[in-house]
Structure 1
């Protein structure tokens, strides 16, 4: 038979030709939404506007912008978890809290990239930062407040933006994640002091032997109180990750600027080191000694 002869109907395109034809159909996005459209990449990738001639300023900007994006997701998950705990819906709350812990792990590793900036490289761009500082992040402040670190002085940095102040104040005024956990325990029949169930939520949390006793009841009978026991461990994971995030922040700042004052007027490393002593869920940690 002639090698060019075809049997039956007209020959179909070869496999490579059909793939090329299919690819052409998928490469034309003139009439549909593209990847860049969906993610609004034009806006996102044009938001980096270095002010100095320093090569390393782009690293500094991207580091902080991506951190803010992760914090946006963190707040979304954290607020969702608080709502679910308040509604006695622990299964979705557990998933959300686990995701928050993973986001914090991501933020911990992000400091590794910023740590490649040396002191001379940072010094070259620092004058262009003005008084801008990470402690002015309204999203970070909402995270701190939602997790129970209620410091009214940290409302002030946001007073120049009433819209942002309203968001921060809403987190400041609301029960924290730990407050809602204790209220849940009380609804489940665990003896939690009444003054911890309805109080001024703007006041810093004060550790209590009675609250530790409540958690001990849960931890000594995990099978009987399995979901509360799991909640306790989710909170432990969360604070563990948060501590690592804070610690990595301190060491990175010390590596890059030493003990200079922060651009926002704080003590820099000395201020950040004080934050390492803040314990968000104290009885979750102290109960381990009593077990």
Structure 2
């Protein structure tokens, strides 16, 4: 029987295998040092945003694999991967509650440390958006391969794996939209992004994104069917 030892067996830096596998020395050194900060809440700000980038990295990985599964004709496997990506965005949204503990005054005080940085430059969100679009195209290819369209799909059985994948796409779209709404409200409450409705303000730009959807055709067919069904085969009102 192999005896457990306190000595690390993995290569890398750290006093134990947990530290070496998780690379905690590097991870915990990514935040600005106390002698670098202009305001103590920079740690709160960086931790929240850095962890967001990590969750989005996971979400993008799941979306990318889901594209492969869809193209392989495995909608059920893609649905499960999409559910994981959706949960990652939910966690990103939930952790935004920490910003309720950041006052406008304190945010203003730490702004010089941010330079001209903006959340619009987030690589995580850009990659997730690109993967979302690729997944939408893969879903279109799947419908074509099954010789069906959205009206036929939504008129069929909810147990259909392709139908379930369509609903998973709607849920992903909805969760990203919820994040956008939360981000917008925080920008108004804490971020000093201008009064609601001010032309050209950052808050105005965020507001325009609230109604954006990756998969508008899915939302349209669901709404049309709920209001009375398709006007003809293969089309919706």
TM over 0.5: yes
Number of the residue aligned with 1:215: 150
Change (3 A) 1:218 1:122: same
What is the CA RMSD across the aligned residues, in angstroms? 2.0
TM, length-normalised to structure 2: 0.83
| Offset at residue 180 of structure 1 (A) | 0.9
* Poorly superposed stretches of 4+, deviation over 4 Å: 30-33
Aligned to 1:186: 144
Matched, 1:87 2:72: yes
**Residue 229 of structure 1 pairs with residue 163 of structure 2:** yes
Structure 2 Cα separation of the partners of residues 91 and 233 of structure 1: 12
User: Can you give the 5+ residue segments of structure 1 that lack an aligned partner in the other structure?
Assistant: 1-24, 149-175, 191-213
Residue 14 of structure 2 is aligned to residue 36 of structure 1: no
- Aligned pair partner of 2:96 in 111, 114, 120: 111
| Residue from 88, 93, 106 that aligns with 1:121 | 106
- The SS at the match of 2:147 is coil
Query: Residues of 1 paired with 2:66 and 2:5: CA distance?
Result: 40
- In the other structure, the counterpart of 1:268 is 202
Q: 1:230 aligns to what SS in structure 2? A: helix
- Which secondary structure state, in structure 2, belongs to the residue aligned with residue 189 of structure 1? coil
Flag the structure with larger Rg.
1
Q: Is the 8 A contact 2:104 2:191 kept in 1?
A: yes
Q: TM-score, normalised by structure 1?
A: 0.68
Shift of residue 188, structure 1, vs aligned partner = 0.6
Q: Secondary structure at the match of 2:190?
A: helix
Structure 2 gap segments, 5+ residues each: 11-15, 226-237
Over residues 237-291 of structure 1, what are the superposed CA-to-partner deviations in whole Å (9 max), with x where a residue is unaligned?
1111111111111111111123349xxxx83211111111212111211212332
Would the alpha carbon gap of residues 248 and 26 (structure 1) be closer, same or farther in structure 2, given more than 3 Å must change? farther
Alignment correspondent of 2:177 = 243
Does residue 278 in structure 1 map to residue 236 in structure 2? no
Contact 2:180 2:209 in 1 (8 A): yes
